[in-house]
Structure 1
Amino acid sequence: MKIFHFSDIHAGSKKHFRQENLLHIIDEINNGGYDLAIFTGDATNEGQRDEYELAREMLDKIEVPLISIPGNHDARSGGIKLFEEYIGPQNGVKVFGDAVVIYVNSAIGDSNDGRVGRVKFNMLKKALNDHSDKPIKIVAIHHHILPIPMSGRERNVLANAGDLLDLIQRADVDLVVSGHRHYPNVYKVENTVFINAGTASSAKTRYGDVNSYCTIEIDDKENKVTTKRLNGQNTTRNFKRKSKRIFTEFGDREFRAVQLSNTYFSESSSFLSNHFDQALKSLKTLDPDLLIHCGGIVKEGTPRDYDFAIKQLNKLDLPMIFTPAARDINYIGYHLFNQSFGELDQSFKTDKFLFQGLSTPQYDSSIGVVGESERKVLLELLKDSPQDFRTVFLHHNIIPIPHSREKGLLEDAGDLLRELVDADINLVLTGTSYHPYATRVGETVIVNVNSLSSAYQRSRFGNSFNMIDIYEKAIVVSEVNALWGEHRFLGIWERNER
């Protein structure tokens, strides 16, 4: 199957619309032997009727089967009804031979943010179940699910991106295509390839880029994804289709780390002392080489809470490193953290292993940021490290987490994720959103941990911590219930080699 994917034409904007570029792209669609074209939104710039008339005139020139979905600009000025009048249905399911394409409107009227509400989420879930036998399953949505690099402040993502990511992986979807951020990007997450198209014909590109589109070729063995820019620069990536690995031999275990977060040390009811004390008993039997606290150490950055935290942590006789959350540095917590635990960016090293901390919180804000200078220092440090296995740990999540409204992302999550994946970092540990989750992006395993002893958590499994066993050939991540010590697997992945 051969698919043409384009997005964000923004027809009608006198300042931004490059009609000649769109006509060039349409000519490529009609003469390139494509089985299907998918347009992932922003047909117009302001959702006005005259813009929709021009957009339909352009899209009507496409001579292959076309699927179109609305974007956030199409939902401006009440334009979402005009989309149905001029372009087509907002949501739907189309079958093309061995493939099914499920497309969903994620736009919110007069907002740049996105959301797939309960009805549409259930429609997507049912369609994936009904067509589970299809060899090729494709989901099309305007808003990106994973953060995009080179696109500025990462704050207008899908509100329920984590739930969509989880559903897509459980349903073994082959491809997810999207647009919105005007910069092309491709990731493989487990067995699913996420393809973000740049803008086809808007002058508002990112990072000095040019207009672009994507082509996708699917056969029995691989998905071939090519980003094509109108200046002639093409980038092709080949991804094996639905590869599954049965592990029979892990080799020797080389390291055991325990990841925890959101202890919420305080003398308030928010701190569940029994959960913490029971978790201590489990930790002693597990005999880890290192404890990694991914933030949320105290409820508030006050002397009283920090004094209480030190008293509790003194019960542990294990190597431990910390990174702060926003609550750890509020009030005078910034000084108390240094006084109690040391530097903000902590690390642990052996001959084979590096665990490097990255402080992301800001004063009196739940939003995290790293910054270009800090990312550059981090990447140089990781590049120059002699250790074969490299881990970065921080508080804020860099991929969306299920069962939470997606507001915990770093401002520069797209840039950090892209850089860590491209650097083949083995493991990234995060500690926000109060829900456990683990997956692999590219060759990088990313693990989020639940709350250990806070009354606030989102898992039916209960408060917990993660146990990460690093073997010669595999990484095994388990969640351990804080109160009862029960274990469950979050995932097993083959180790990537540096």
Structure 2
Amino acid sequence: MRRILHLSDLHYGRDDAALEEPLLATIASLRPDLVVISGDFTQRARRRQFAEAAEFVARIEAPVLSVPGNHDTPIDNLWRRFVTPFHRYKAYIDPVLEPSVEDDEMHVVGVNTVNRFSWQRGRFSRRTARRVCNVFAEAGDKLKVVVVHHPLEHGPTVEKRLMRGASAALSALSDCEADVVLSGHLHTASAAPFTAAPGLLFVQAGTGLSTRRRGETNNFNVLDVEAGRVSITTWGADELEFAPGESATYARGANGWERVAGEAEFSARPQMALA
């Protein structure tokens, strides 16, 4: 079994500083095999914000795989965003924009979905989808996980535009038998099979530290994974402590991922619909 802790949207520069120590302590207590951070380390991609985010990451007592989010590129300096959009991210967080981690049980691949020419909306190119599928072609029976910032599906209440190439990427990842997609961006937590690809599990993290909670508590996900089975628990902040909340377990069935009978649903689970 492997444990993945999925964290997203820290937004240093608009973070709740009082939650930083409780979050780090909870991460350490859960002893994950891998911590995934799916983008938006900063609010405005400024050096001080990146320095604070880098200090946070350095204190995580587990391997970390991260991808950038749209807030990790400058919004108020167009020249820098178009010419060197990831300079500070590479300097402070990770020089590799699309890292991967592999062990005996899982293969996790990061994808940079940030689109420098459309700051809010992301992009998942066909070339990127082919790259990910080529990596997974050698993964065998390992759990195959994709990490992105922008979701590949939106629920009916989401006002943000779905990123470019999302439909084609979802189809490609389904065809090459990816298992799980981890994403952020919307500041809401959920877990369900994709509507258009039930063989692919969509796990969405809320915001770990941002004050822009959009009606939720600050939270992160814990995935306990083994052959053909994934259990997801959302840990949310209660005052200055993080505690386990809603959970769901999915197992691979004849029609894709199916919720295990008797396990609690995500009460806030959205009705996923391809935009």
Q: Secondary structure at the residue paired with 2:54?
A: helix
- 2:43 aligns with 45
Check if 1:65 corresponds to 2:66. no
The answer on whether the counterparts of 1:100 and 1:134 sit within 8 Å (CA) in structure 2 is no
Q: Distance in 1 between matches of 2:156 and 2:224?
A: 24
- 1:243 aligns with 253
Residues 1:233 and 1:29: Cα distance change in structure 2 (over 3 Å): closer
Q: Distance in 1 between matches of 2:63 and 2:143?
A: 17
Residues 1:167 and 1:22: Cα distance change in structure 2 (over 3 Å): farther
Give CA deviations for 1:144-198 in whole Å, capped at 9, x if unaligned. Answer: 1111466x4132x211110111012112222110000111111113222110100
Q: Distance in 2 between matches of 1:230 and 1:170?
A: 37
Q: Among residues 180, 183, 190, which one is paired with 2:185 in the alignment?
A: 180
| Deviation at residue 20 of structure 1 after TM alignment | 2.5
| Deviation at residue 118 of structure 1 after TM alignment | 4.3
Give CA deviations for 1:181-239 in whole Å, capped at 9, x if unaligned. Answer: 11111111322211010000000011x21101000001235210111211246100010
- 2:231 aligns with 224
Q: Distance in 1 between matches of 2:4 and 2:155?
A: 22
Matches within 5 A, 1:429-440: none
Q: Among residues 102, 105, 108, which one is paired with 2:115 in the alignment?
A: 108
Give the residue type in structure 2 aligned to 1:47: A
Q: Distance in 1 between matches of 2:123 and 2:213?
A: 24
Q: Among residues 5, 19, 22, which one is paired with 1:21 in the alignment?
A: 19
| Deviation at residue 114 of structure 1 after TM alignment | 0.1
Q: Distance in 2 between matches of 1:8 and 1:119?
A: 26
| Deviation at residue 101 of structure 1 after TM alignment | 0.5
With structure 1 as the length reference, what TM-score do the two structures score? Answer: 0.46
| Deviation at residue 6 of structure 1 after TM alignment | 0.5
With structure 2 as the length reference, what TM-score do the two structures score? Answer: 0.82
Q: Among residues 245, 250, 253, which one is paired with 1:234 in the alignment?
A: 245
Q: Distance in 2 between matches of 1:198 and 1:149?
A: 18
| Deviation at residue 51 of structure 1 after TM alignment | 1.2
Residues 1:229 and 1:158: Cα distance change in structure 2 (over 3 Å): same
Matches within 5 A, 1:62-141: 62-76=60-74, 77=77, 78=81, 79-88=85-94, 89-109=96-116, 111-131=119-139, 133-141=140-148
Q: Secondary structure at the residue paired with 2:71?
A: coil
Give the residue type in structure 1 aligned to 2:125: G
Q: Among residues 120, 143, 150, which one is paired with 1:143 in the alignment?
A: 150
The answer on whether the counterparts of 1:185 and 1:197 sit within 8 Å (CA) in structure 2 is yes
| More displaced stretch, 73-82 vs 107-116 | 73-82
Q: Among residues 414, 418, 424, which one is paired with 2:270 in the alignment?
A: 418
Give the residue type in structure 1 aligned to 2:124: V
Q: Distance in 2 between matches of 1:137 and 1:6?
A: 18
Q: Distance in 2 between matches of 1:26 and 1:191?
A: 33
Check if 1:199 corresponds to 2:200. no
- 2:260 aligns with none
- 2:218 aligns with 211
Give CA deviations for 1:293-324 in whole Å, capped at 9, x if unaligned. Answer: xxxxxxxxxxxxxxxxxxxxxxxxxxxxxxxx
Give the residue type in structure 1 aligned to 2:270: R
Q: Secondary structure at the residue paired with 2:171?
A: helix
Unaligned 5+ segments in structure 2 are 256-268
* Number of residue pairs the alignment of both structures matches: 244
- 2:265 aligns with none
Matches within 5 A, 1:132-171: 133-148=140-155, 152-155=158-161, 157-171=162-176
Name the % identity. Answer: 23
4+ runs of 1 displaced by more than 6 Å? none
The answer on whether the counterparts of 2:126 and 2:165 sit within 8 Å (CA) in structure 1 is no
- 1:5 aligns with 6
Residues 1:148 and 1:227: Cα distance change in structure 2 (over 3 Å): farther
Unaligned 5+ segments in structure 1 are 246-416, 422-440, 449-498
Give the residue type in structure 1 aligned to 2:178: V
Higher-Rg member (1/2): 1
Residues 1:144 and 1:105: Cα distance change in structure 2 (over 3 Å): same
Q: Secondary structure at the residue paired with 2:109?
A: strand
| Deviation at residue 137 of structure 1 after TM alignment | 0.5
Q: Secondary structure at the residue paired with 1:130?
A: coil
| Deviation at residue 62 of structure 1 after TM alignment | 0.4
Q: Distance in 2 between matches of 1:134 and 1:222?
A: 13
Task: Tell me which of the two structures has the higher relative contact order, counting C-alpha pairs closer than 8 angstroms and 6 or more residues apart.
Answer: 2
Residues 1:418 and 1:165: Cα distance change in structure 2 (over 3 Å): same
The answer on whether the counterparts of 2:125 and 2:169 sit within 8 Å (CA) in structure 1 is no
The answer on whether the counterparts of 1:23 and 1:58 sit within 8 Å (CA) in structure 2 is no
Q: Distance in 2 between matches of 1:60 and 1:149?
A: 38
The answer on whether the counterparts of 1:93 and 1:127 sit within 8 Å (CA) in structure 2 is no
The answer on whether the counterparts of 2:233 and 2:244 sit within 8 Å (CA) in structure 1 is no
